[in-house]
Structure 1
Amino acid sequence: MLLHVRHHTHYHYHSQVVLAQHMAHLRPRELPGQRVLSHQLTVAPDPVQREDRTDAFGNWRTFFALQSPHGALDVTADSVVETTAPEPLPDSDPWPAVRERLQYHAGAPYEPASEYVFPSPYIARHEQLADYARPVFGPQRPFLDACQALMARIHEDFTYETASTDVHTPVLEALAQRKGVCQDFAHIMIGCLRSLGLPARYVSGYLLTQPPPGQPRLVGADASHAWVSVPFGGAWHDFDPTNHRSGVERPGEDYVTLALGRDFGDVSPLRGVIQGGGSHALKVAVTVAPEAEFSALTADA
């Protein structure tokens, strides 16, 4: 599938920003099942400094600096990505065996996935999270099967409600209130797995959504998305607790992976430090569409 993603961010500042430095994670990853055919990031006003490089997790990131007064900032990322459907989930070992393999043993070879077992700034390891996960983690249940069951439990128990949380909501608070957005659902699932000693990483990206029957696809009506990835058998396998997508129906060719990390803090699409500006208004518009539809869809936008 060929997908075109446009992610537009607009800041309007109530007073002039004098100096600014920003970091963007807005270029999709090159991964098995995903190939980036084109990518363009435009910034207005023009930055005086710009640098593209990969971070510690292999994500592309762009640093840019503005050194002239400005009352607004526009950042637009246009990407065309070719995606393919994933293979079915493989059979997996019992989850205690996976946990044992990732624990430290003197002289054992380094396992890269082990870094995703530890707590991170937005996701604590806590007994409350382990307790929530235990009912679906039977003594010898296969690891990936247990992950599917945990994903299903979160999807069933939690209500998706915009504005019920923000990026700083602690994972235990989201667990207690049983509602949130995709970021919270992903953080909770990751926290549950790590609290059992199992690895999980945070995935940011986009999902091709379908408009209601009889309604046109709208420019800017989509949003960034987040889900969870776990390792087994030399590969990473995705689970989306927000949309109950796993197994043969797990995130596939209608998903675009943007960045991978320990939690949202590692992969924020755009963040920065500014001097001046006062308060600000923020607008974010995301459009995800098949490439064949994109030009006609945005022609008059």
Structure 2
Amino acid sequence: MIYAVRHTTRYQYAEPVTLSTHRLRVTPRETPLQRLRRFALDVAPDLCDLTAERDSFGNAAHLLEIRESHESLVVEARSEVALTAPTPTLDRTPWEDVAAAVARPRGPEALDAAAFAFPSRFTGADDALEDYVRESFRPGRPMLDAARELTTRLNADLAYDPAATHAGTTAAEAFGLRAGVCQDFAHVFLACLRALGLPARYVSGYLLTRPPEGRPRLVGADASHAWASVWSPLAGWRDFDPTNDATPALEHVTCAWGRDYGDVGPIIGVVLGGGAHALSVEVDVAPLGAE
């Protein structure tokens, strides 16, 4: 399946900004299941320095620096990506064996996965989370089966509520509230697995949303999104979306991955001046048909 993706972010400042620096992660990744066909990035004001780079997780990023006075900032990323559905897996590796594989990694894949088996800034687990995850990860249970059940349980037990949390909410805090947004659902999922020494990474990207039956698809009404990916020696990395109780296939476009949101935020930066600001974001994921 091929998609055209447009992600537009607008900042309007109450006062002039004299200097701003931002790191952008809005370029879809190349993966075994995703091919980037086209990408373009436009910034206004255009009197800026834009430098392409790779971060420590291999994500494509851009460093944006604006040294001219400005009262607004618009960043528009346009992409065309081709997605391939993952093949079904028969991997029945017990979760304890996966934990052992990353505790003493042998080979580059296990070593890479081991970096995602530790708590991070947003994904520390408390006693409540550890008790919760063990209900799904019973002794000897296949890793991927347990992860799928955990996905369903979190979807049922946490309410999607944008007013409940903020960008700095931790997994333990969101779980205590039993509410949050996709970022929180992903962080709670990661905290659960990492509490058992299991490798799981945070994935940011885009989600195709479908309108109610009989309604037209609204341009700009799609969403930036977050989910999680877990690793097993036989199956490799497999994605799980607790916000939607789904195993991502052909409707999730991957931009970046890391330990948590702090590693992969689409636009993160600092400004000198500006005062208060208003932020608006529009995302459009348009299906173009099969490749």
In the superposition, the TM-score normalised over structure 1's length comes to 0.92
Post-superposition Cα deviations, 1:78-97, rounded to whole Å, max 9, x if no partner, equal 00000111111332211111
The alpha-carbon deviation at position 40 of structure 1 amounts to 0.5
Distance between the aligned counterparts of 1:113 and 1:45, measured in 2? Answer: 40
The alpha-carbon deviation at position 69 of structure 1 amounts to 0.6
The alpha-carbon deviation at position 98 of structure 1 amounts to 1.0
Distance between the aligned counterparts of 1:189 and 1:212, measured in 2? Answer: 28
Matched AA of 1:259: A
Could you say what secondary structure the match of 1:22 adopts?
Answer: strand
Q: Does 2:198 align with 1:201?
A: no
Q: Pick which of 211-220 and 59-68 moved more.
A: 211-220
Q: Does 2:269 align with 1:268?
A: no
CA contact (8 A) 2:164 2:177 kept: no
Distance between the aligned counterparts of 2:47 and 2:172, measured in 1? Answer: 39
Matched AA of 2:267: L
The alpha-carbon deviation at position 109 of structure 1 amounts to 5.0
Distance between the aligned counterparts of 2:254 and 2:48, measured in 1? Answer: 29
Matched AA of 1:264: Y
1:277 to 246, 261, 274: 274
Specify the alignment match of 1:131 in structure 2. 131
Specify the alignment match of 1:296 in structure 2. none
Distance between the aligned counterparts of 1:74 and 1:48, measured in 2? Answer: 12
Specify the alignment match of 1:81 in structure 2. 81
Matched AA of 2:138: G
Structure 2 gap segments, 5+ residues each: none
Q: Pick which of 81-90 and 65-74 moved more.
A: 81-90
Post-superposition Cα deviations, 1:116-148, rounded to whole Å, max 9, x if no partner, equal 011112211433321110011111100111111
Post-superposition Cα deviations, 1:49-74, rounded to whole Å, max 9, x if no partner, equal 21101111110000011011100000
Post-superposition Cα deviations, 1:192-217, rounded to whole Å, max 9, x if no partner, equal 00001111000001111111111111
Matched AA of 1:237: R
1:93-112 map, 5 Å: 93-104=93-104, 109=107, 111-112=111-112
Distance between the aligned counterparts of 1:224 and 1:263, measured in 2? Answer: 15
Specify the alignment match of 1:63 in structure 2. 63
Distance between the aligned counterparts of 1:209 and 1:23, measured in 2? Answer: 27
Could you say what secondary structure the match of 2:153 adopts?
Answer: helix
1:259 to 252, 256, 260: 256
CA contact (8 A) 2:201 2:259 kept: yes
Matched AA of 1:73: L
The alpha-carbon deviation at position 184 of structure 1 amounts to 0.5
Distance between the aligned counterparts of 1:193 and 1:70, measured in 2? Answer: 44
Q: Does 2:283 align with 1:286?
A: yes
Could you say what secondary structure the match of 2:185 adopts?
Answer: helix
1:146-295 map, 5 Å: 146-232=146-232, 233=234, 235-245=236-246, 250-291=247-288
Moved over 6 A (4+): none
The alpha-carbon deviation at position 47 of structure 1 amounts to 4.0
Distance between the aligned counterparts of 2:116 and 2:139, measured in 1? Answer: 22
The RMSD of aligned alpha carbons is 1.3
Post-superposition Cα deviations, 1:4-62, rounded to whole Å, max 9, x if no partner, equal 11000000000000011111000000001110000001000014321101111110000
Post-superposition Cα deviations, 1:265-294, rounded to whole Å, max 9, x if no partner, equal 0000001111100010000011111136xx
Structure 1 gap segments, 5+ residues each: 293-301
Matched AA of 1:238: D
CA contact (8 A) 2:170 2:187 kept: no
CA contact (8 A) 2:52 2:61 kept: yes
Percentage of identical aligned residues: 48
